[in-house]
Amino acid sequence: MGGSDAISLTREPDYWIGRFVAMACPCEVLIDSTTEALARAVVDCVSECAWRIERKFSRYRQDNVVHRINTSNGQPTLVDDETARLLDFSATLTALSEGRFDITSGILRKAWTFDGGTHVPAQADIDALLDRVGWHKVQWNRPALQLQPGMQIDFGGIGKEYAVDAAARLADGAVPGLGCVVNFGGDVAVVNERRDRQPWKIGIESADRTGTVTQIVPLTRGALATSGDSRRFVLHAGRRYSHILDARTGWPVEDAPRTITVAADTCTQAGTLTTLAMLNGARAESFLEDSGAKYWLQ
């Protein structure tokens, strides 16, 4: 995946916009520059960062560290520092969520398919998979990770926000002080203010994904992350089941907002808050109120 032929670069009235696809979502970079060569250099830097992280951490590949871990059959796997940091962060998020978030819960996709269809799995099918879910069953002694046979990890719940922050740092390093926006599927980081000192205007899309913008958020720097069930859900017997699963039960979180958007200094911080809020279900808003974060619910 990747390559210059997969990138489009177009000129808007007062900025350049580069587009590409990574991590199964549309990605874009807005660059506050009059120079095409500079804009192209930034887009190339950001896109290669996204594709590198996808290659390294996608569960769909058979040539990366996640595949080695998931096929280790109970044997320890040594990991590099970047992977170790993601494992440490995942463990922290599991603790903060009291087990609701768990990177070993990706195996529950064998029971659930959130494609807008109507199928809800049987409790027995979920219970069979829950035997292979639980960070407390994992031995993590950095840099060695040992899963029980049949267990897997999946960084999908944190990978996109991590990639946004990594790409934003690279963009800032490539052209220090340059104003730009990194947007991977609605998770956004703003790098530096614009030349005219005006904020970037970031739109929050409606929960129905109709293209309607429900809120404009002005940002000179910082990040937004959004979590929700707009695209991934099951409709069964008049009930909507979100793709956001409680790893302790194997069932979708109940009574959570359709979407939650949070502003924070980094996309990872914003994503952490949206994830924890979603996993609180009906208590999402009170959780966000207690956190002191700026947020938007739909």
Mean pLDDT value of segment 124-149: 97
- The end-to-end CA distance of the chain, in Å, is 34
pTM of the entire predicted model: 0.94
Residue 209 has pLDDT above 70, yes or no: no
Distance CA 45, CA 48 (A): 5
Mean pLDDT value of segment 230-245: 87
Domain ranges of the chain: 1-58+163-192, 65-157
Q: How confident is the model at residue 214 (pLDDT cuts 50, 70, 90)?
A: confident
Residue 3 has pLDDT above 80, yes or no: no
- pLDDT tens for residues 30-50? 999 989 999 999 999 999 999
Mean pLDDT value of segment 70-96: 98
- What was the pLDDT predicted at 175? 86
CB atoms within 10 A of CB 283: 14
Distance CA 75, CA 235 (A): 40
Q: How confident is the model at residue 185 (pLDDT cuts 50, 70, 90)?
A: very high
Chain centre distance of CA 21: 14
The domain at 1-58+163-192 falls in which architecture? Roll (3.10)
Domain 65-157 fold is T-fold (1.10.3980)
Residue 151 has pLDDT above 70, yes or no: yes
Residue 231 has pLDDT above 80, yes or no: no
Cα atoms found within 13 Å of the Cα of residue 120, Cβ hemisphere only = 14
Q: How confident is the model at residue 230 (pLDDT cuts 50, 70, 90)?
A: confident
Per the omega criterion (within 30 degrees of 0), is the bond before 143 cis? yes
Q: How confident is the model at residue 232 (pLDDT cuts 50, 70, 90)?
A: confident
- What was the pLDDT predicted at 2? 58
Query: Could you tell me which residues come within 8 angstroms of residue 289 by beta carbon, excluding any fewer than 6 positions away?
Result: none
Query: Do 267 and 255 contact (CB within 8 A), yes or no?
Result: no
Reported residue count of the chain is 298
Report the chain's mean pLDDT, rounded to a whole number.
94
- Per the DSSP assignment, residues forming a β-bridge with 295 are 262
